[in-house]
């Protein structure tokens, strides 16, 4: 798609909106007065966005084409601002394509965070109304966001200024799933990296614990994610949990979660090691209960392995188990997805997380057009997601965290659902950006939330295990940034 900008620089949001309406057409952005303008490809969608002075106000104009039909719309406003331009672009593209996105104009990752700002400013009812009307969010999605806001309130209010969540990344998986866009490495290629990685991870954990301790901070939650942490051996899991418990003060820690994601990595010995280390939450992620769909996405396990994994975890004594599911997988159907939910609920998870398949360019599935067949039918994906919302609600679950990504099936959302009393605080603090998350390991992103203002600062670790190992000194140096940033937060108070 060709996006032409003239008289303004609202590029970021205009580009995001173009992707909502034309998700499979890469957006090329050009300035109207550039010397290097390119000609549009035949049939290529296009949007010309124009801002110009008109009397004592401003005229906003969009001329858009889907490659066949053209539409031109204008609006006047007294000031220059991003909102009238993006609103006009949204309205014009919606009229041109007939698409009414469920999240309206919202293209960001954290719609609930935005809703919270509206509600804090105007109160619940007026804030909800403004959220819906200003951003053209559908009634169904506004209600979903409102339920999430309500469900996460106790965990957000419980946070103290000296709390943080500790995230520990284990970037290894038994094999790579076809839709994966994470940094995870499969064990066939990365086996020899595991031990050196863990040794350096321990150093990072020690340094982090020291810095946080000197600042008077302590973890309220611990989350070991990945990748698939249970790719590690039982002894490695034991050592990792012991290291965390040994160097961090755990007196205020309310939960300790380990993603046991892939059922093909589970064993009695590993689950016992986690239980003995007082891990109280795990994830066993089916994604689908169809063996055929599992095969399509390159997961080398069956639905039976998921059932066995749940049974084993129950035998070992785990109560809080999350199950991740995905809407929009290749070869799945509304009937197949309904069957997946029914069979997963029979396993009595306390948390269910429903994702919409997000296709990034780094995923193998992008190479395969069949893989995207359901992804390209947003109304089917929306129907499946609505079924999940209805069924989980009827089963007593409440949605408690929600986030969005680009290029999601149906342009929908990922939602975590929990039975009463079973929310995972880490998911709330990290997805809602309501609390500090200190991350260790490859791909970790530390998010330092000013407890006294909306300010949030990030510190990035290197993404891939080999970089993490070869440039570990830099990672330890970056960790010192936690000290500086917290000192700045505190200075602002005085």
86, 99 in Cβ contact below 8 A?
no
Nearer to ligand SF4, 434 or 461 (CB): 461
Nearer to ligand SF4, 172 or 426 (CB): 172
Contact residue for ligand SF4 among 104, 227, 399, 444 (CB under 6 A): 227
Angle at 194 between CA 189 and CA 197, to 5 degrees: 125
Tokens of 265: 């990595």
Nearest to 289 by CA among 254, 245, 246, 323: 323
Q: How many residues bind ligand SF4 (CB under 6 A)?
A: 11
Q: Which of residues 382-421 bind ligand SF4 (CB under 6 A)?
A: none
Q: Whole-angstrom Cα distance, residue 446 to residue 424?
A: 18
Tell me how far the alpha carbon of residue 16 is from its chain's centroid.
Answer: 17
| Shortest Cβ 456–ligand SF4 spacing (Å) | 25
Q: Is 61 in the site for ligand SF4 (CB under 6 A)?
A: no
Nearer to ligand SF4, 228 or 434 (CB): 228
Q: What sign does the CA torsion over 37, 40, 45, 46 have?
A: positive
> If DSSP codes are grouped into helix, strand and coil, which group holds residue 288?
coil
21, 95 in Cβ contact below 8 A?
no
Contact residue for ligand SF4 among 61, 94, 221, 228 (CB under 6 A): 228
For residue 58, what is the enclosing H or E element?
strand 57-65
The 254-293 contact track toward ligand SF4, x by CB under 6 A, reads: -------xx-------------------------------
Nearer to ligand SF4, 212 or 431 (CB): 431
Torsion, Cα of 95, 101, 107, 111 (10° steps)? 140
Task: Choose one: 200-208, 224-232, 399-407, 479-487; the region binding ligand SF4 (CB under 6 A).
Answer: 224-232
The CA–CA distances, whole Å, from 106 to 65, 248, 359 equal 22, 39, 19
Nearer to ligand SF4, 258 or 448 (CB): 258
DSSP calls for 425-438: HHHHHHHHT-S-EE
Nearer to ligand SF4, 177 or 448 (CB): 177
Q: Which of residues 172-201 bind ligand SF4 (CB under 6 A)?
A: 173, 176-177, 180, 182, 184
| Shortest Cβ 379–ligand SF4 spacing (Å) | 26
> In the complex, which residues of this chain contact ligand SF4 (CB under 6 A)?
173, 176-177, 180, 182, 184, 226-228, 261-262
């Amino acid at each position: 798609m060709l996006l032409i900008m003239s008289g303004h620089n609202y590029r970021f949001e205009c580009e995001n909106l173009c992707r909502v309406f034309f998700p499979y057409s890469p957006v090329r952005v050009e300035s109207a007065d550039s010397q290097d303008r390119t000609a549009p490809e035949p049939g290529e969608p296009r949007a010309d966005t124009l801002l110009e002075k008109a009397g004592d106000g401003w005229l906003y104009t969009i001329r858009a084409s889907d490659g066949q039909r053209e539409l031109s719309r204008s609006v006047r406003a007294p000031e220059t601002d991003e909102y009238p331009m993006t609103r006009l672009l949204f309205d014009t593209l919606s009229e041109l394509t007939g698409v009414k996105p469920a999240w309206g104009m919202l293209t960001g990752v954290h719609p609930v965070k935005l809703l919270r700002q509206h509600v804090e400013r105007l109160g619940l009812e007026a804030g909800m109304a403004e959220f819906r009307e200003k951003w053209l969010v559908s009634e169904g999605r506004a209600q979903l966001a409102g339920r999430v806001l309500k469900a996460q309130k106790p965990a957000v209010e419980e946070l103290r200024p000296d709390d943080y969540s500790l995230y520990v990344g284990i970037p290894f998986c038994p094999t790579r799933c076809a839709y994966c866009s994470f940094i995870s490495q499969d064990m066939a290629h990365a086996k020899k990296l595991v031990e050196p990685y863990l040794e350096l991870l321990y150093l990072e954990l020690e340094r982090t614990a020291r810095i946080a301790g000197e600042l008077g901070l302590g973890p309220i939650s611990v989350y070991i994610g990945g990748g698939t942490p249970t790719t590690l051996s039982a002894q490695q899991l034991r050592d990792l949990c012991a290291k965390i418990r040994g160097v961090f003060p755990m007196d205020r820690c309310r939960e300790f979660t380990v993603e046991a994601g892939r059922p093909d990595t589970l064993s009695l010995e590993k689950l016992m090691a986690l239980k003995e280390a007082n891990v109280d939450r795990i994830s066993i992620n089916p994604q689908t209960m169809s063996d055929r769909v599992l095969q399509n996405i390159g997961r080398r396990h069956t639905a039976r392995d998921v059932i066995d994994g749940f049974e084993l975890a129950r035998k070992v004594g785990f109560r809080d188990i999350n199950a991740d599911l995905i809407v929009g997988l290749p070869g799945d159907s509304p009937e197949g997805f309904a069957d997946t939910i029914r069979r997963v609920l029979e396993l009595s998870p306390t948390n269910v997380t429903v994702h919409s398949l997000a296709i990034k360019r780094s995923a193998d599935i992008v190479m395969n057009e069949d893989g995207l067949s359901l992804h390209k039918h947003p109304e089917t994906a929306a129907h499946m997601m609505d079924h999940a919302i209805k069924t989980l609600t009827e089963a007593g679950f409440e949605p408690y965290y929600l986030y969005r990504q680009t290029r999601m099936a149906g342009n929908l959302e990922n939602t975590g659902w929990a039975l009463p009393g079973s929310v995972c605080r880490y998911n709330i603090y990290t997805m809602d950006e309501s609390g500090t998350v200190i991350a260790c390991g490859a791909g970790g992103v530390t998010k330092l939330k000013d407890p006294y203002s909306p300010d949030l600062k990030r510190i990035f670790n290197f993404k891939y295990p080999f970089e993490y190992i070869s440039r570990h000194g830099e990672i330890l140096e970056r960790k010192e940034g936690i000290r500086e940033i917290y000192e700045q937060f505190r200075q602002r108070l005085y």
